Amino acid sequence: MPNMRLMGLDVGSKTVGVAVSDLMGWTAQGVETIPINEKASEFGFKRVVELVEEYGVEKIVIGLPKNMNNTEGPRVEASRRYGASLEKRLQIPIVFHDERLTTMQAERMLVEEGNVSRKKRKQVIDMLAAVMILQNYLDLNGNQ
């Protein structure tokens, strides 16, 4: 099977964290955090499309922020809508992956680093969460 690059997205109401896999589909690396404004219907789609083209991405993995009891709330619906809009623009497969705890894990990692200020943590946390979403997906599914 040919290798393909995947992109992971952590979609929030103010930012979208972005990560991409290596060509072998083994590891995820953070790319950037795209500022968005959900209330103003500014979703950063143009930048996501640019990154997909730049990295040659063939599949996108979007984190689903389910509740701890596995129910779905408004953020899950927002993530699904985001994915549907991207799929129309890109014509590549979009898959969803349970992201429970990834933002908390990301924050804990940054706090444990100790030398990352609160302001800097806020800037990178969504990108790191995207890395964790994509890495979890790669670990569970391989490069599919």
Q: What is the pLDDT averaged over residues 101-118?
A: 67
Q: pLDDT tier at 141 (50, 70, 90 boundaries)?
A: confident
DSSP H/E element including 89: helix 74-90
| Calpha distance 90→94 (Å, rounded) | 9
* Percent of the chain residues topping a pLDDT of 70: 83
Is the pTM of the predicted complex or chain greater than 0.95? no
- Chain Cα centroid distance, residue 16: 7
Class of domain 5-141: alpha beta
| Calpha distance 15→122 (Å, rounded) | 10
Q: What is the pLDDT averaged over residues 129-137?
A: 91
- In sequence order, the β-bridge partners of residue 35 are 15
Q: How big is the chain, counted in residues?
A: 144
Q: Is the pLDDT of residue 84 over 70?
A: yes
Q: What is the pLDDT averaged over residues 58-70?
A: 88
Domain range summary for the chain, segments of one domain joined by +: 5-141
Helix (H, G, I), strand (E, B) or coil at 23: coil
